[in-house]
Structure 1
């Protein structure tokens, strides 16, 4: 959690914890001890306490009576519902992005697609997963839909544990890569309907895969 110890604010603390949850550094059910976080982040106990309250409101953290705070545990059922909501919101963003995308942004996404293909070919699942996240972030940013972006950021954190398991499932990257490339193609063609469909198709696949992973445990 590399945050400057000088004037660390409540927002700084919340962002550091949020990032660690999104990146899987903090796992579901892990205790969040105010004193430890204060020392690690160079922040006051008050800033840490306020940040944990903010993250509780976002659904990333839960407070247990007499036990303090921990990273919120999200059930499979809730994760599946989150994916359904993401499909609607991300499809909207993709359609808007297809209307607004520039030639430079198309070139950027094409390069990203090439990097994703290379990562799958080399079996570098970690890099591929990070590039997936980057692709999502880019077309949401290109869409200019700020409220949608905020909504997706909160949903992402709540389902990160299930996504992490799915990313490392054998053969999953070979399934998802063509889906991501289809999203890029639709955006490059500036086709809102195709972009909407490509995102919905991909997240329908994600939802089914999460269900299968849960059933196999």
Structure 2
């Protein structure tokens, strides 16, 4: 679990272009630097959430805790988000994926970050996602399908393209944090839930 969380933290920071994560006694800190997301703490043990949260006061501070909301002691100052899930899968050789007509898929790479975009016939983005590769681990991030193009298998196309890009660059495992809706798709694709994640923030 510790290795998977480390993979996710470092890959997420790479994907989002933040400074490198800082190791803390209870997990990690990422200085995101956005007004509504100033800093993020990722905690491995739900019992550490209360002590950590008690010392945090600045709006735009986020917590991501390995554990369910019932396990995470937080005061009413914190806004708790919908449940999320840390998930993982192994990676191996993956054949190129052909999207259904009339869609096309593109891959754009900048260093170790790779973006897959599925385009509709008119060239508009129908679905997209990103993977950041760090060593032998990959983090899949910001996967979404435009509402007008859902239920056509495009999310699976994006995931296959990102997984193929990561495997081609030497990654042997992948991790992500999924919403409840995303979890269903990823489980169908062979991903496994490793831990519930509780997300909470101090409102701006």
- The TM-score with structure 1 as length reference comes to 0.25
> Per residue, is there more strand in 1 or in 2?
2
Please tell me whether Structure 1 or Structure 2 has the larger radius of gyration of its CA atoms.
1
